[in-house]
Amino acid sequence: MTASNAFDERLDDLVETFDLLGDWEERYRHVIDLGRSLAPLTDAERSEANRVRGCASQVWLVTEMGPDGALLFRGDSDAHIVRGLIALLLNLVSGLRPEEIADFDAATALNRLGLSANLSSQRSNGLAAMAERMRRDARAHLPVR
């Protein structure tokens, strides 16, 4: 399975789960539950260098290169729903190769999940900032041509 197929499969699985949940309140609870599954970052990882700018809540994102050349992301926030949104993004892109993440279209993915219509503009902007940070980190790991 190629990485883009892996991304599409991950997104399809999330869409299917969200469709089964039905209304937005159930989906909202599911997003919060996803956030609870995130391993907390260490105090050292909650640094200014790892902070995502553009988010109303405190958000930190750690990017590491895996042994197979895939990028591994870990994140945390001081807000429950934002932790869940981080978990959604991590489910979609963590473990993919930099070239697959560099052009990640978070807006399209989140539209498929029905999140765009149900998030405040502040949270939508924060989510866009997180996705942009992931793309930027991926681009930094692309081979120089």
- What pairing do the DSSP bridges indicate for beta strands 59-65 and 71-77? antiparallel
User: HSE on the CB side for 9, CA within 13 Å?
Assistant: 7
What six digits make up the tokens of 35? 């956030």
Residues that are catalytic: 55
Helices (H), ranges, 1-145? 3-21, 24-36, 80-93, 98-101, 106-113, 121-140
What is the distance between the alpha carbons of residues 82 and 123, in angstroms, rounded to a whole number? 8
Residues 6+ apart with CB under 8 A from 105: none
- 25 vs 7: CA distance, rounded Å: 26
